[in-house]
Amino acid sequence: MRDLFKTLLLHIWPYLYRNISFLKKYQVLNKRICMARLMRDDPVQWRVERARENGVIVGKDCRFFSLNIFSEPYLIEIGDNVIISGEVIFVTHDGAIYLFKDEDPHLFGHFGRIIIGNNCFIGMGAIILPNVEIGDNCIVGAGAVVMESIPHNSVVAGNPAKVIFKTDLYRRMKLGSKYTLRDQKYAFPRQNEMSFNERKDKITREIKSLPTRRPRKRSK
């Protein structure tokens, strides 16, 4: 019986191998086609899936408006409901260590994880440096350079990034602001379903009549 099984296996193996190889190639091709369609139809979600493909741990309901991870994506963890704005950069290593290669000829590199909690917003142009953890319900301001970990429920800004107030204060400020617009049909994240002219007319109509922020008086 064993000899019969070996004989059958020897005869059918080339056929099985060809079909298994074809199936694997088909799966790879199908994945590429699906990703290409997603990139065309929804580039925000394409970046999320691309990050996962590269090894980033990404939670549910995330939206990525940029994907700048130059190396070690497997050192990055992102929680649920996180928005990554445009031109955000994740840095998981410190290349400056190589300046000291003569002092320590066995240098391999200096690396650190980046962990972002749930329900966070990372503003445009922010830079997240290695060995940093951003807590839940945090907001990182545009252009911030995050060098230290951030406690839960914090809003940070600046270079280096510092806590400027709690997220709850930001919530009350923005939800009560006359500059915050609302729309029953096109509420977030459906704003992009509104036509360009409709969006332009709405924002122009409701914002242009409002005054810009006045300069603050500085105490002498």
N-term to C-term CA, the chain: 98
pLDDT tops 80 at residue 68 = yes
Q: Which residue from 116, 113, 128, 132 is spatially nearest to 73, judged by alpha carbons?
A: 113
Q: What strands lie across the sheet with 132-134, from one edge to the other? A: 57-58, 76-78, 114-116, 132-134
- Is there a contact between 155 and 170 (Cβ–Cβ < 8 Å)? yes
Mean pLDDT over residues 115-140, rounded? 97
| pLDDT, tens digit (0-9, with 9 covering 90-100), for 69-127 | 988 999 999 999 999 999 999 999 999 999 999 999 899 999 999 999 999 999 999 99
Cα–Cα–Cα angle for 42, 46, 49, rounded to 5 degrees: 145
Token reading at 51: 């990050």
For residue 156, the cross-strand partners are 140, 163
Domain boundaries, the chain: 42-166, 176-206
Let me know: does 44 contact 58? Beta carbons within 8 Å.
Answer: no
- 75 contacts: CB under 8 Å, gap ≥ 6: 92, 111, 112, 113, 114, 130
pLDDT value at position 214?
83
Section 30-53 average pLDDT: 84
Q: How many CB atoms lie within 10 A of CB 120?
A: 24
Cα–Cα dist 97/180, whole Å = 45
- Average pLDDT over the chain, rounded to an integer: 88
CATH number of 42-166: 2.160.10.10, 3.40.640.10, 3.10.20.90, 3.40.50.1000?
2.160.10.10
